[in-house]
Amino acid sequence: MRPPLLQSTVSFGGLSFDPLVWSEPLMWLVLAAFLGSAVLLRYDESWARRVAVAGWGLFGLFWLVLIPHFTLTQKSLVEGVGSLAAVPLSLYAGYLLWNGRDSLFALTRAVGVMGIVYVPFLTIGPLRQWLVEVVTDQTAFLMSLTGIDPLVVDGYSHNGIEIATKQYPYESTFWFDHEAGPITYNILLACTGMGSISIFAGGILAVDAPWRRKLRALALTVSLIYVLNLFRNVFIAIMFGQQRMQWFEGTIMSLFGLSDPRMVSYYIADRMLAQFGSVVALVVITWFLVRELPEITVLVEDLLYLVTGTEYDLSSAFDIERETGEAVTRPSDD
């Protein structure tokens, strides 16, 4: 059995650089800083501020290291732009927190909780395999309802043909027979929706609110993201596996630096349509979440301020009654 194949090494000017190798230790340092700050805040605000600011600096470095991975290896416009923007935004968050914007302690705590939710799936093999294979099975079931029933295979090869860019030998590959050779679509951890789920879970669990409403908001949000992600997988698998989006082949191949014209359907379906659609869906989910859990407006307002430099009062916009500090409550629902 060969080791997992991680297509992450970037070569430039004769030098090779693996962003994922450098990002992992940074990830642990960021997580320790953010969670440590949350604990210190209970005892010593000045030290909590120092640790949190250091964490935001490391967070900026974390995203800086990953820019080549998302732009050159993954060729993802959404993730590339997002990682590029995250660098100055992280540094700006640390600057604002150092200069007294204490509401950012909540956002710091939220990012730490996001890590607690996501990192186990990233680092614990059996847990990751279980999630990936469950999502694969459910995606296959939904595809069968449309009359499409591709073979699902495990391992790094099938019938003597290597499965390209597969990371782990899980039963997570859709195999489509094609006249020019088989087309394979791999379900990865990134295809499970766990990244988006962890973002919302971190925000929900980090704010001050009654646990009854937090758990209700968490259940609704996680369920919605999970189901939408399954339909996203079905869409990409069908469009790619059956080559239904072979549009503007020359332009798309030049834009993404592709050598195989059959990848055009994948890049249109995933990198262009599904990823932008996911951004829209997450914005809509955030809107509903603010209505369900108004306390989370403190996080959304800080994020908007980091991006635009303008203060927003979402409590007034959504007709929410705000109490002092971070908490926002609706007296009729406790």
pLDDT in tens, 216-261: 999 999 999 999 999 999 999 999 999 999 999 999 999 888 888 9
Q: Contacts from 9-12 at CB under 8 Å and sequence distance 24+?
A: 9/73, 10/68, 10/69, 10/72, 10/73, 12/68
Residue-level pLDDT, tens digit, the chain, 334 residues = 333 333 456 555 556 667 777 888 999 999 999 999 999 999 999 999 999 999 999 999 999 999 888 887 777 888 889 999 999 999 999 999 999 999 999 999 999 999 999 999 999 999 999 999 999 999 999 999 999 988 999 999 888 888 877 889 999 999 998 888 889 999 999 999 999 999 999 999 999 999 999 999 999 999 999 999 999 999 999 999 999 999 999 999 998 888 889 999 999 999 899 999 999 999 999 999 998 899 999 999 999 999 998 888 877 766 665 443 343 333 334 4
Residue 259: partners with Cβ closer than 8 Å, 6 or more residues away = 253
Of the residues 191, 213, 244, 330, only one is catalytic, namely 191
pLDDT of residue 13: 56
Q: pTM for the whole thing? A: 0.86
Q: E strand or H helix at 286, and its extent?
A: helix 275-292
pLDDT of residue 332: 35
- Annotated active-site residue 232? The verdict is yes
- b vs e for 1-29, b when ≥16 Cβ sit within 10 Å of the residue's Cβ? eeeeeeebeeeeeeeeeebeebbeebbeb
Pick from 138, 70, 76: which is nearest to 270 by CA? 76
Between CA 43 and CA 61 the distance in angstroms is 28
Distances (CA, A) of 1 to 76, 157, 168, 174: 30, 11, 10, 20
- Annotated active-site residue 213? The verdict is no
- Contact by Cβ (8 Å): 315, 122: no
Torsion sign over Cα 218, 221, 224, 228: negative
Q: What residue type is assigned to position 144 of the chain?
A: S
Of the residues 49, 128, 232, 271, only one is catalytic, namely 232
The DSSP string of 20-59 is HHHHHHHHHHHHHHHHHHHHHTTT-HHHHHHHHHHHHHHH
Specify whether the backbone of 243 is left (phi greater than 0), alpha (psi in -120 to 50) or beta.
left
pLDDT of residue 200: 96
Q: Which residues pair with 108 in a beta bridge?
A: none
